Amino acid sequence: MEKASPTKRPRYDAAFRAEALRLASESRSTRAAARALNIDVKRLYAWQKAAQPSVSTDPVEAAEVRALRAANKRLAQELEILKKAIAIFSQPPTL
């Protein structure tokens, strides 16, 4: 009995990877972005991990980076809430 030839793994160019990372960052989840692009979610997670800058091994700097990322995430959420509030309050009142 002969083995079936393994299917070749598709190769993705840098432009596709950059677009996939942009879509994943703007999407509600990485899993949804991977589904939309019809690629394996593990591959997209690996691309995201590779795209992140390396964190130093200094524990003080690593803690500072974590705190800054958490603050950045919180501020981004506050900005989204404020944008929605502006959209709600800028509508004319209905009588």
Number of domains in the chain: 2
Q: 37 with 23: CB under 8 angstroms?
A: yes
Q: pLDDT by residue (tens digit) across 59-94?
A: 898 899 899 999 999 999 999 999 999 999 998 887
First to last CA, the chain: 78
Note whether 46 and 64 are same-domain residues: no
Q: Is the dihedral of CA 61, 55, 70, 74 positive or negative?
A: positive
Neighbour tally for 42: CB within 10 Å? 9
Domain for residue 4, yes or no?
A: no
> pLDDT, tens digit, for every residue of 2-11?
555 567 777 8
Q: What is the pLDDT of residues 12-57, one digit of tens each?
A: 898 999 999 998 888 888 898 999 899 999 999 999 999 887 756 7
Instruction: Answer yes or no: are the C-beta atoms of 34 and 41 closer than 8 Å.
Output: yes
**50 alpha-carbon distance from chain centroid:** 12
> Does a structural domain hold residue 87?
yes
Q: Does a structural domain hold residue 20?
A: yes
Q: What is the pLDDT of residue 1?
A: 43
Kindly report the pTM of this predicted structure: 0.50
Q: Is residue 39 part of a domain?
A: yes
Domain assignment of residue 5, yes or no: no
Please check whether residue 86 lies inside any domain of the structure.
Answer: yes
Please check whether residues 62 and 94 belong to one and the same domain.
yes
Asked whether residue 38 is domain-assigned, the answer is yes
The whole domain housing 67 covers 56-95
